[in-house]
Amino acid sequence: MKIAVCIKQVPNTEARLRVSRDGRWLEEEDLPFIINESDEYALEEGLRIAEKTGGEVVVVSLGPDRVKEALRKALAVGAARAVHLSDPAFAKGDALATGRALAAALKRESFDLVLTGSQSDDVGYGGTGSVIAGHLGWPHVWLVMGVELEEGNRSAKVTREMESGVNEVSRVQLPAVLEIQAGLNHPRYASLKGIMAAKKKEIVTVTPADLGLDASQVGEAGSRLEIVSVAFPASGKGAQIFQGDAKTAAASLVEKLQKEARVL
């Protein structure tokens, strides 16, 4: 099967975050970027399906130059080649604008399956894969926890996570877009051989014009949403923080739990 996996490069949420000077997003200098967590699982699932069915994975990403690093990582773990939607016009898109651009890139080839992560760890709209499916006219399933190909790879039995510990099991006809939830598998690490091989693999760069799209249809211009500011949340009522070494802090906490909160 020919499988496309859409990945996003996002800031590492564990890193120390600073708000940019204009207050609209993060200061990107010295900010470490990684492949979005659920996208890593999507990539692993794509590689496993390609290995089982004898096919290839094409990894697709939208973003600035730094995204090439994420694409190289995907090539190093086994993707065959990469497509990079690289143009300033693509920047700051909402799920609808980004989904429109990615779908146009995917339409240039004929894929049997498209995988994405379920949600990005930065803006977290959680809808890009579904929008892609809408443009392609394919079925989609969001928050996928299991994929089993059936009927000679013409359909898939898909497990979707619901709230409160219940999963929905359904059958979708392929081609489809499956939006993968973290935890579905165990993503592999790149081998040295894989890293060396990735250097020779192709990354094709595409612009809106290559996709037959006007710059006004993608990125910030093609979006209905505009992030006007970001800020660390005011700490609400705020936790009372106990200072000192572990022993001192623990003793103060226990005293409060006994005398103030009365829960011990």
Partner 1 sequence: MASPVWVVLQHREGQISRISWEAVGAAQKLAASLGGKAEAVLLGSGLGTTAAEVAKCDLAAVHVADHDALRTYTPGAFIGALAPAIQTAVPAFVVFPHTYQTVDYMARLAQTAGAGLLPEVTGFEDENGALTWTRPVMGGKLQSKVCVKGEGTVLVSVQSGAFPADGVVRGEAPIQSLEVDLAAVKPDREVLGYEEVGGDTVDLTKAEVIVAVGRGVGGADKMAPVEALAKALGAEIGASRPVIDNGWLPRDRQIGSSGQTVAPKLYIAAGISGAIQHLVGMKGSSVIVAINKDPGAPIFTVADYGIVGDLHEVLPALTEAVLAAKG
Touching partner 1, residues 141-180 (CB under 8 A): 141-143, 157, 159-172
Q: Which region, judged by CB under 8 A, interacts with partner 1, from 50-58, 107-115, 129-137, 200-208? A: 129-137
Token pair, residue 62, equals: 């939208």
Q: Is 121 in the site for partner 1 (CB under 8 A)?
A: yes
Cβ of residue 258: shortest distance to partner 1, in angstroms? 6
Cβ of residue 194: shortest distance to partner 1, in angstroms? 23
Token pair, residue 215, equals: 């710059």
Characterize 79-115 residue by residue with b for buried, 16 or more Cβ atoms within 10 angstroms of its Cβ, and e for exposed: bbbbbbbbbebbebbbbbbbbbbbbbbbeeeebbbbb
Residue pair 6/60 in contact (Cβ under 8 Å)? The answer is yes
Q: Is 31 in the site for partner 1 (CB under 8 A)?
A: no
Q: How far is CA 110 from the centre of its chain?
A: 22
Residue pair 82/74 in contact (Cβ under 8 Å)? The answer is yes
Cβ of residue 247: shortest distance to partner 1, in angstroms? 5
Q: Which region, judged by CB under 8 A, interacts with partner 1, from 15-23, 58-66, 73-81, 200-208? A: 15-23
Q: Which residue has the tokens 């240039």?
A: 108
Q: Which region, judged by CB under 8 A, interacts with partner 1, from 10-18, 42-50, 85-93, 211-219? A: 10-18
To 5 degrees, how large is the angle CA 64–CA 68–CA 71?
125
CA-to-CA distance for 56 and 97, rounded, in angstroms?
Answer: 27
Q: Is 128 in the site for partner 1 (CB under 8 A)?
A: yes
Q: Which of 55, 64, 126, 194 binds partner 1 (CB under 8 A)?
A: 126
Q: Which of 122, 188, 194, 207 binds partner 1 (CB under 8 A)?
A: 122
Q: Is 20 in the site for partner 1 (CB under 8 A)?
A: no
Instruction: Name which of 60, 83, 69 is nearest 34 in CA terms.
Output: 69
Cross-strand pairs, 2: 56
Residue 13: DSSP 8-state: T
Residue nearer to partner 1 on the CB measure, 192 or 231: 231
To 5 degrees, how large is the angle CA 161–CA 167–CA 169?
110
Site for partner 1 in 204-263 (CB under 8 A): 223-233, 235-242, 246-247, 249-251, 253-258, 261, 263
Residue nearer to partner 1 on the CB measure, 56 or 121: 121
Residue nearer to partner 1 on the CB measure, 82 or 123: 123
Q: Which of 131, 174, 211, 218 binds partner 1 (CB under 8 A)?
A: 131
CA-to-CA distance for 202 and 193, rounded, in angstroms?
Answer: 16
Q: Which of 77, 85, 123, 213 binds partner 1 (CB under 8 A)?
A: 123
